[in-house]
Amino acid sequence: MTTINDRQLRSTYSALETQFRADPNTKVDGNGMVKLLAAVADTWWSGQASLEKSLSKPGITRAEQLALVKNGMGSTEKADLIRILDKGAVPLTDEVKSFLEQVVDRAAPPAPTDGALRITGNQAGGLIKGTLAAGSTVEALNLSTAPNARLTAEDTFVLGKAGADGKFQGSVPDMKEGDLIKMRSRDAAGKAGDWVTVRASGLGTDTRNAEVAIFRIGLTDEKNGKISLENINASRQVSEPGAKLMFINERTSEKTTITMDANGTFPADTKLNGKAGDSFSVRASDGTNNKDFSAEVGKVQVPGGTGGTGGGVQLPDPKLHKDEMNADGTPKFSTKRFTGPLYTDGLAATDVKQGQIGNCYMPAGVASVAHVMPEVIKEMIKDNGNGSYTVTFKEEDYRNGGYKNKEITVDADLYVRSYGGPLYGSSSGSTSPDKMEMWWPVLEKAFAQWKGSFNAIGNGGVASEVIEAIVGRPNADLSIRYSDETKVWNKIKTSVDNKMPVAAGTYGKDEASRYTNTGVHSNHAYSILGYEERGGEKYVNIRNPWGETEPWPGDGKNDGIFALKLKDFMKLYQTVYTVR
Amino acid sequence: MALPPEPLQELLPLATQIVDAEVVRVVSEGEAPEGPSAPEGATSVPYKLQSQVVVLKVNRAIRGTAKGEITVEKPQGAYLLSAGNKGGFLLQDGAPHPVIIGRYGPDTYRIETLERAVKEWK
């Protein structure tokens, strides 16, 4: 008696053995094979009786039967079937034997006659094998890795080409167990066939969870307690088809789970409960990995919030730059309360990073003050201990030609991107809301509040006017165009030696073509941190307020700090900014 | 306007091709749009420089299959190209030519940074 482990298959084969014992002329024919295969491939969602009906459906082809069986056959049933083939007591007709050999991957299927793409076997060894019309190519796309790549549904690569026998094989780079691989044929005339999708198997344990292109998730407040959810680039996937995405509203803790459609995007009219400013934790599962949704993929926030999400006082925020406003005047970005320390390891020029706003003159000026007069900045920013800060600027007093204090109080709500991090100025270290060093973003926000909005400070300006507003001294700029190396060098040297803040600006529109590939940008302000002479050459030590980008190759750090020969400085910079 | 480069995570999904290339020639230039007036010595002034159509000689494709000489469009923006300029160009599909994206063209991100990001992105 043949040892069969699968219960249904054992019962079915036992009946055939009984029949054989009663009539030694019995052979497993087509009908018997269907019964066996139904027992082999039954699943919890498609039982043996149902499968037998499908397998014996009038007109069904061998290829369709093969696909049905492959879909439900596990390793135990496959091993049982091999034992039936090799050691079974009941003889098989030649046709049945040939077909069962195909089922257990021991014989290649005949080349198809209809030219349709068919996949055979599993993907062990990273190979996809199959058949299609001779000479046709197979195009493939890994739907499981496409979301975080640039790939659209049409961004396929050629997996392989069918030989004269109709067989092909090819490998998908970085294919892992459980990946969804989408394929189609393309004939010599360029005509594409229907898509066929397989879930990769035979590659070991499925460890790749569903990827999520979190930057494609768009949230819009519908102002009725609902948030519409959309894929902001509908031609590309948010995640893999069938993946489940859980959105947890961090204000209400409500969880909403959404299943990605066949295109890896949100079903039409998908909504979440919430309002402007709400932040959602996003989790994902492909049904195998992260099934409990414990791991977070990232966070998204509904634009248009009016206040932060942390504690402390709430004060009006300066309006966004016009580029960050919708046509109807509503903001594209919302705010978040930041609770990090005012200073981390003191205060330095390198703390300052310019955000996505045209105010380079400001971080360049502020960083130059931080470099030589950190105590002035420490004195001007007062932590009120309630989530707000009072920043004291210097304003010209026309009554006496001097300066008077201008106090501006702001809270610690900063405009943030949907996927985290401040939109405008940030600090060089951590940018997380509970850790980011706050002195520079607070100073910038207060300056915007004073001048009216981020738009008011985000369309260009003069670095020395910012330095003046911090230190209360009149500016003393030098135009390089109308000067010479000696005067410029002396100006920088004197300012640095006297510990005065000093910065420099490059030429604008008319001279822009000279900057490409220099590592220095036109229409941009830089802090000057010092000077040096080595090898008979004079150098100016400069910092880009972006905190990165400098002439290549530099010192290899790409921290925006670099030494430029004075003669190059003379060509690329038009103004030295400082104060008296 | 001297803004920092756009975050790579925003550019990469848009770039259908990324090439290490050199400008061979400037084919044509558009009109420079009218810009705002600015005080003496001001920086970050929000003007835009004219668009250009240029021919690039591709040394290497970091993403995509471009090779040889390709014609691309540099949109209006913060920089200008001239023959001999080189570096990593991020290209977005466009008609009639692919469009260079990234605020500073070949100076937006170094080739090494682009290569590393493309690998990590997969």
Which residue in the set A215, A360, A521 is minimally distant from B9, CB to CB?
A215
Name the more confident of A41 and A427. A427
- pLDDT for the residue numbered A308: 44
**Contacts A141 to B, Cβ<8 Å:** none
Contact yes or no for A141/A153 (Cβ under 8 A): yes
CB within 8 Å: A354 and B3: yes
Domain A478-578 sits in which CATH superfamily? Cysteine proteinases (3.90.70.10)
Name the more confident of A547 and A50. A547
Task: Work out the pLDDT band at A31, boundaries 50, 70, 90.
Answer: confident
Place of tokens 């344990």: A205
- pLDDT for the residue numbered A307: 45
- Closest Cα in chain B to A143: B122
CA angle A73, A193, A169 (to 5 degrees): 55
**Residue A542: is its pLDDT beyond 90?**
yes
**Contacts B16 to A, Cβ<8 Å:** 150
Query: A92 in helix, strand or coil?
Result: strand
- Which pLDDT tens digit goes with each residue over A321-364? 988 888 888 888 888 999 999 999 889 999 999 999 999 999 99
Q: Provide the β-strand partners of residue A219.
A: A229
d(CA A52, CA A160): 35
Place of tokens 């069904």: A60
d(CA A258, CA A300): 15
**Residue B98: is its pLDDT beyond 70?**
yes
Highest-scoring range by mean pLDDT, A33-42, A151-160, A488-497: A488-497
Query: Dihedral of CA A196/A232/A354/A275: which sign?
Result: negative
**Residue A283: is its pLDDT beyond 60?**
yes
Which residue in the set A145, A463, A524 is minimally distant from B122, CB to CB?
A145
| Letter string b/e over residues A86-113, b meaning 16 or more CB atoms within 10 A of that residue's CB | eebebebeeebeebbbbbbbeeebebbe
Which residue in the set A462, A517, A546 is minimally distant from B86, CB to CB?
A517
- Which candidate, B65, B13, B2, B121, places its Cα nearest to that of A515? B2
CA angle A175, A180, A183 (to 5 degrees): 95
Domain A214-301 sits in which CATH superfamily? Immunoglobulins (2.60.40.10)
CB within 8 Å: B43 and A215: no
**Contacts A419 to B, Cβ<8 Å:** 9
CB within 8 Å: A150 and B15: yes
Structure tokens at B70: 């390709």
Contact yes or no for A30/A95 (Cβ under 8 A): yes
Q: pTM for the full model?
A: 0.60
CA B17 to chain centroid, in Å, comes to: 12
State whether residue B64 sits within 8 Å of chain A by CB: no
State whether residue A516 sits within 8 Å of chain B by CB: yes
Q: Which residues numbered 31-60 in B keep a CB inside 8 Å of some CB on A?
A: 32, 35-36, 38-47, 49
In angstroms, the first-to-last Cα distance of chain A is: 104
Instruction: Write the CB contacts of A204 (distance below 8 Å, at least 6 apart in sequence).
Output: A177
**Residue A310: is its pLDDT beyond 70?**
no
- Which pLDDT tens digit goes with each residue over A134-176? 889 999 999 998 887 657 777 788 899 998 888 999 998 889 9
State whether residue A158 sits within 8 Å of chain B by CB: no
d(CA B61, CA B111): 11
- Which of A235, A431, A509, A572 is the best residue to mutate to test the B interface, defined by the most B CB atoms within 10 Å of its own CB? A509
The secondary element (H helix, E strand) that includes residue A36 is helix A30-41
Contact yes or no for B101/B15 (Cβ under 8 A): yes
In angstroms, the first-to-last Cα distance of chain B is: 32
* Residues above pLDDT 90, as percent of chain A: 49
**Residue A215: is its pLDDT beyond 50?**
yes
**Residue A433: is its pLDDT beyond 50?**
yes
- Which of A175, A211, A323, A523 is the best residue to mutate to test the B interface, defined by the most B CB atoms within 10 Å of its own CB? A523
Structure tokens at A103: 């089922």
Q: Which residues numbered 164-203 in A keep a CB inside 8 Å of some CB on B?
A: 174
CA B70 to chain centroid, in Å, comes to: 14
**Residue A112: is its pLDDT beyond 60?**
no
Rounding to the nearest 10 degrees, give the CA dihedral for residues A348, A351, A357, A361. Answer: 20
State whether residue B14 sits within 8 Å of chain A by CB: yes
Give B101→chain A minimum CA distance, Å.
14
ipTM of predicted assembly, 2 dp: 0.93
Q: Provide the β-strand partners of residue B23.
A: B56
Structure tokens at A134: 């001779």
- Closest Cα in chain A to B109: A549
Q: Provide the β-strand partners of residue A120.
A: A129
Q: Provide the β-strand partners of residue A408.
A: A391
- pLDDT for the residue numbered A108: 59
CB within 8 Å: B35 and A509: yes
Name the more confident of B112 and A148. B112
Which of these ranges, A309-313, A320-324, B41-45, has the smallest mean pLDDT? A309-313
In chain A, CATH 3.90.70.10 covers 478-578
d(CA A355, CA A377): 20
In chain A, CATH 2.60.40.10 covers 118-199, 214-301
- pLDDT for the residue numbered A258: 95
CB within 8 Å: A549 and B3: no
* CA-only gyration radius of chain A, Å: 35
Instruction: Write the CB contacts of A381 (distance below 8 Å, at least 6 apart in sequence).
Output: A342, A389, A390, A391, A439, A442, A443
**Residue A99: is its pLDDT beyond 80?**
yes
Task: Work out the pLDDT band at B22, boundaries 50, 70, 90.
Answer: very high
Structure tokens at A102: 């195909």
Query: A496 in helix, strand or coil?
Result: helix
Give B104→chain A minimum CA distance, Å.
8
- Which pLDDT tens digit goes with each residue over A357-403? 999 999 999 999 999 999 999 999 999 888 889 999 999 988 888 99
Task: Work out the pLDDT band at A75, boundaries 50, 70, 90.
Answer: confident
CA angle A369, A567, B43 (to 5 degrees): 45
**Residue B97: is its pLDDT beyond 80?**
yes
Q: Which CATH number among 2.60.40.10, 2.30.40.10, 2.40.70.10, 2.60.120.10 corresponds to the domain A118-199?
A: 2.60.40.10
- Which candidate, B99, B83, B82, B81, places its Cα nearest to that of B91? B99
d(CA A545, CA A526): 6
